[in-house]
Structure 1
Amino acid sequence: MTDKLGQRIAVIGAGIVGLSCALWLQKSGHRVTLFDPQMPDSPEAAQAACSFGNACTIALGACLPVASPGIHWQVPGMLMDRKGPLSIYWRDLPELTPWLLSFLGASRAAEHDRITAVLGEMMRHAEAGHGPLFEEAGAQDLIRRSGCLYLYRDEAEFRAAKGGIDLREREGVKMSILDAGQIREREPHLAPMYHKGLVFEDAYFLDDPYQYVRRLHHAVMGRGAEGIARHVGGIRSAPEGVLVLAGEEEWLFDRVVVAGGAWSRDLAAHVGDRVRLNTERGYHVLFDAQPGLLSGPTCYPGAGFYMTSLGEGLRAAGTVELGGLGRPMRPARTQVIEERTRVFLPSVGEVKREWLGFRPSTPDSLPVIGPSPTDSRVLYAFGHGHVGLTLAGLTGQLIAEVVDGRDTTIGLNPLRADRW
């Protein structure tokens, strides 16, 4: 089916990663069909999409994996603390066990160091992956170049973070340290309870990430993509291409890109690949707040969430809950976010919205990007965890490079689907 018009490629998933893949593929001359039961222009899609509710941050310094040396000693305390950043549905423990064992394996010092180097390389190329997409989507007006602030209440907390700071410096992350007075000068509305701060100078945020997704979708459709608003029930290899099954129909493509976020594991299984992908349920609380209450994304790492001032209010987003796709929202999780935000920022107003979304997370914090080991005509682009917004552009660039047979911007071996 390949001709002078390029290959016919299905992209499963119309979120930030799928749309970034679609636009990069179109820029390489390929013909794209998007599959998603809830396209970005549908009212139902907004509340379901990670890009609707994330922390809005392009976190170019986020090169440390979640699994860190010694975390196995910290997890029990986190789980026992009602206000801690981690919770779990215990009835899901048998299903989670393989993922958790791989997570513990990734926390070994040598593995942590290796994964940090891979993420560091990805972060160094992330901005180049975004630039052409921001331009084509007309999204420059959404960008806020602000830096990102991490906070520490005392010297002991800051010393405990020193190992991570050193690793980030090794990976070229630009940072500056603030004392208590400089924190107050930068963020006068914060409660005066912090001893030191760390500014990630190259980080920035989008005032409305979901608006960016909608503009990306508009750009992709404007280039002639076909959109099929159906749930994909399967993928099947055939001699002449790859079949996508949706409803009672099937379509034949030269290539298929699986960018279905937290729903990607089942699609990979149809191809014959068993990937270690699970769901981190993340929450946000939107408060009524004056514009500019914070100058940029602000995080107290011990609480596990970011606070970001947006045009619509103050968004506090984050925490981790391991519990799959089918469980309802836990009000206790949003209550903790609300309580802690009011301690950090006493002047926030009433709660305007609470939200639950699903991060597609791997045990080693590295996404799955590249050809399926079972059928190289199927390409994977999922598992970005906390950095989907940050790495979406680079992911699309890498997928287009693979399809075109070009050398990839970074090596894909650490990101392969069969690494576990």
Structure 2
Amino acid sequence: MIEANHMTKHELTGQDKGSQTCAASTQNADVTVIGAGVVGLANAIALQQAGFSVRVIDKQGVAAGASFGNAGHFATEQMFPLADPAMLFKLPGMLLDPLGPFRIQPRYFLKALPWFMRFLVNMLPARRAHNSAAIKALNQKSIQAWQQLVSECGCSELLKLEGSLLVFEQTPFIEVERVYKSYRDAGVAVKLLSGEEVRTLEPDLSPNINHGLWFTQVGHTPDPAELCHRLATQFEKLGGELVIAEVIQLAAECKGDNKEKGVNVSVASGVTYQSDKLLLSAGAWSKPLAQQLGFKVPLETERGYHLMMPQQSRLQRPVASFERKFIITPMNRGTCLAGTVEFGGLKAPLIEARADCLLPHAKALLPDVLASAKTSQGERWMGFRPSLPDSLPVLGASPKSDKIFFAFGHQHLGLSWAAFSAQLMAETIKGEEVTVDMTPYRIDRF
């Protein structure tokens, strides 16, 4: 890890790294953003466009966490909170399957228990309706916000708007129709397809697929990491300062009359960075930093896996499986297989079997493309999704300080919500009227 090194490019050669000094610039920034994932970078650009000078600090650099290996799906069809009462009947079987779509590492069970108790409370009908409405408010303008952002960053080719598919193999039609109506009634643009119609769209898909839902107004990126690097390029082009450093302490700087003058961000090397305002957007690592600022947030980290296979398919859009609970996304580097939810904290190592178990499912959906594929050919990866029990992010100003702001906890929809939530935060920080009611996302809601 490089600490307190100023960066003019996102990746430095070994020689460049060694030549960097640990001396911090004395130049003050209007806003310091902690986190260089897709959410932090989108916020940094939105703040620049709002007229602020911005510094971004991240302990590992651009797209080093969940923004690197996510499924690349702008999943704005996902209007429903994860806390679904229907899960209760399926949960025991999922937990007993070590390679199933949902798992809690045994040693982590007690630590995760308080989060799950809150999760259960959010299954209550009133809570679920409230959370669904708040999710919908963010989803409705997210694709439009991304179209604007990639256009400004000169990387429109990294946003594909071909929709996505949810496919069914053995589910009875009455259940398929129920799922279809639930999306349709929630305002999602969706078409119900027969198996033949699914294969007309995607000829590589299995003949065992009997039905599909085509979400027509969503999209994907063929390279999530490259998308982040292009955002970082735009950020630096607009004069932004990118620093690789591990943040260890946050503190308000006070004047003699005890009024806050700004915010100090101290990093592991002993350097302190000053700014007028702070935006905490550190994803799964936001919880302890928020605690320093006086907030106990029930954030857990869902460990998400992918297996990137080098084989290329003819898929034009992401394909998710209703029964198998995973997703296939066509990407520039191959075919990305992603899915599974695992609770095990930030320190447990990647479990190769959790990634490898995705391949048999993918072979069932893409039999010709992946017939001879082996897991040894693939790239295994695990990243941390920052999830809150109500499936809503933390967005908005601190109720304790007009210098502190938050944008983290976007769970499975960080990529989807990054651009629009950044617009909302820029309005908030600038003191303008915000286009969405921010009450459901406040940090003190818990």
Residue aligning to 2:89? 73
Within the candidate set 221, 241, 254, 1:206 is matched to 221
In structure 1, the residue matched to 2:310 is: 288
- 1:227-376 to structure 2, matched below 5 A, reads 227-239=242-254, 240-247=261-268, 248-292=270-314, 294-346=315-367, 347-348=369-370, 349-350=373-374, 351-376=377-402
**Cα shift at 1:402:** 0.6
The residue type paired with residue 331 of structure 1 is: E
Partner amino acid for 2:241? E
Matches for 1:164-175 after TM superposition, within 5 Å: 164-175=179-190
List structure 1 runs of 4+ shifted beyond 6 angstroms: none
Residue 159 of structure 1 deviates from its aligned partner by 3.7
Describe the SS at the equivalent of 2:339.
strand
Residue among 45, 53, 59 paired with 1:31: 53
Name the counterpart of 1:13.
Answer: 35
**Residues in 2 aligned to 1:106 and 1:162: alpha-carbon distance in whole angstroms:** 26
SS in 1 for 2:357: helix
Q: Partner letter of residue 202 of structure 2?
A: E
Q: Deviations over 1:215-269 (max 9, x none)?
A: 1001101111112210111211232111111121222221100010100001100
Distance 1:159 1:409 in 2: 39
Change (3 A) 1:134 1:412: same
Contact 1:148 1:298 in 2 (8 A): yes
Which residue matches 2:155?
Answer: 139
Task: Give SS of 2:289's match.
Answer: helix
Distance 1:352 1:101 in 2: 37
Change (3 A) 1:343 1:82: farther
Deviation of 1:59 (Å): 1.3
User: Which segment is superposed worse, 305-314 or 21-30?
Assistant: 305-314
Secondary structure in 2 matching 1:144: coil
Segments of structure 2 that go 5 or more residues without pairing to the other structure are: 1-27, 255-260
Looking at structure 1, the residues matched to 351 and 273 of structure 2 have their Cα atoms a distance apart, in angstroms, of 39
Normalised to the residue count of structure 2, the TM-score between the two structures is: 0.88
Residue aligning to 1:407: 433
Residue correspondences, number: 408
| TM-score (norm. length: structure 1) | 0.93
Largest Rg, 1 or 2: 2
Asked if 2 retains the 8 angstrom alpha-carbon contact of 1:102 and 1:363, the reply is yes
> Which residue identity lines up with residue 62 of structure 1 in the other structure?
Q
Say what the alpha-carbon RMSD is for the aligned residues: 1.8
Are the equivalent residues in 2 in contact too, given 1:273–1:372 (CA < 8 A)? no
Whether contact under 8 Å (2:29, 2:55) holds in the other structure is no
Give the direction of change, closer, same or farther, for the CA distance of 1:412–1:188 in structure 2 (3 Å limit): same
Contact 1:117 1:171 in 2 (8 A): no
Q: Secondary structure at the match of 2:100?
A: coil
Letter in 1 for 2:292: H
What is the SS of the residue equivalent to 2:444? coil
1:335-377 deviation digits (Å, cap 9, x = unpaired): 2111211122122234331111111111111111111233232
Shift of 1:81: 2.4
Corresponding residue for residue 75 of structure 2: 59
Q: Distance in 1 between matches of 2:328 and 2:356?
A: 15
Matched-pair contact (CA < 8 Å) for 1:232–1:246: yes
> Which residue type is aligned with residue 383 of structure 1?
G
1:64-123 per-residue CA deviation (whole Å, 9 max, x = no partner) reads: 111112322321111112442101112112221111111111112222222111111211
Return the offset for 1:291: 4.4
| 2:115 maps to which of 95, 99, 109 | 99
